[in-house]
Homo-oligomer: A and B are copies of this chain.
Amino acid sequence: MFNSFGRIFRFTTWGESHGPALGVVVDGCPPGIALSEEDIQPWLDKRKPGQSRHTTQRREPDEVRILSGVFEGKTTGTPISMMIENVDQRSKDYGDIAEKYRPGHADYTYDAKYGFRDYRGGGRSSARETAARVAAGAVARKVIAGVGILGHVVEIGGDRAERFAAHELPNNDFWCADPEAAKRWEALLDSVRKSGSSVGAVVEVFASGVPAGWGSPLYAKLDSELAAAMMSINAVKGVEIGDGFAAARLRGEENADRMRPGNPPTFDTNHAGGVMGGISTGQDVLCRIALKPTSSILTPVETITRGGEAATVMTKGRHDPCVGIRAVPVAEAMMACVLADAFLMHRAQVG
């Protein structure tokens, strides 16, 4: 109930940042889909830490192993268990924060809830868990084979990308589709890193090829599921569908996506972000998320100890100065899972 996501295409993740391994069990994947580690590894590689100086220097190969649910190269309809071993735990780095709550982290709240402190790098609240989501997302992509999902960073530290050139995405370390912005961000992140600070980001994800009709009103609405999925990603503080908050500043006639005859019908605009009444319209499904700046900074901040004493804490460890960057493949994976689930729900309801 607590560590599972999805209704029919349903995955359950397990594992802590500094345990021996982490993993995911994907239940509800239809049978007969070609699947091997090669389908999953590329997405994990995309998320993998330590790929540029702009992300954490923890070195994890993040090699995935499929332990069940696939026979002779195809899914069998039974649970797909995938495991990734933790290799570079180095938990001594975290020693001096064992007794202090780091502001902005889940340290205090986990302790308040569960009565313990897994000081080894955040334990279950670490973004390392997102590797399991990416593995689940890779399976989801195979379930909705006709759908393309693409995420990119649209803003770092308040500096917005101005154009979208998809072919530029592999040419920089930021999943940035605007080469000029990428240059500016490089300088920005170098400066942020040197000053021991961190910055936030905005990430956009869209899915093309989603037919009209997916999404189940009222409480499994496509946009509602997307909002839950995205807000469950570490550091996310805001979610928008389509125009999002900007829609609140439009007039009704501006916001109306006019329809035109066609098979399927076309729309003049996509203010709605491809979802109307919780159901896909056939246009691109578009989602935007805001990520706060990393809480782990090399600047001392006031806090308290487990015993309730005033203290100052500074996170040494290895961290991402901007978690938004590595959130891109995670957000893509969550969108894939939501869509795979919506597809299977639709199939159940309508055949």
Which stretch in A56-64, A114-122, A161-169, A171-179 binds the other chain?
Answer: A114-122
A69 touches B248 (CB 8 A): no
Contacts of A140 in B (CB 8 A): none
Q: Which of B7, B277, B304, B350 contacts A109 (CB 8 A)?
A: B277
- Say yes or no for A48: interface residue by CB 8 A criterion: no
Contacts of A350 in B (CB 8 A): 30-31, 77, 113-115
- Determine the interface band of chain A, counting residues with CB < 8 A from chain B: 35 or more
A152 to chain B, nearest CB (A): 15
B231 touches A226 (CB 8 A): yes
Beta-carbon contacts of A198-240 to B below 8 Å, as 1s and 0s? 1111100000000011111111110111111111101001111
Bound together, the chains give a CA A344 to CA B56 distance in angstroms of 37
Q: Which of B113, B200, B278 contacts A106 (CB 8 A)?
A: B278
Contacts of A201 in B (CB 8 A): 248
Contacts of A349 in B (CB 8 A): 2, 8, 28, 30-31, 77, 113, 344
Bound together, the chains give a CA A228 to CA B76 distance in angstroms of 24
B198 touches A252 (CB 8 A): yes
A77 touches B227 (CB 8 A): no
- Say yes or no for A55: interface residue by CB 8 A criterion: no
Bound together, the chains give a CA A350 to CA B114 distance in angstroms of 7
CB contact under 8 A between A103 and B155, given known A76-B123, A200-B248: no
B224 touches A78 (CB 8 A): no
Give the 4 A-B CB pairs with smallest separation, nearest first: A106-B277, A198-B252, A109-B279, A200-B248
- Say yes or no for A170: interface residue by CB 8 A criterion: no
A103 touches B1 (CB 8 A): no
Bound together, the chains give a CA A347 to CA B309 distance in angstroms of 28
- Say yes or no for A92: interface residue by CB 8 A criterion: no
A266 to chain B, nearest CB (A): 9
A72 to chain B, nearest CB (A): 8
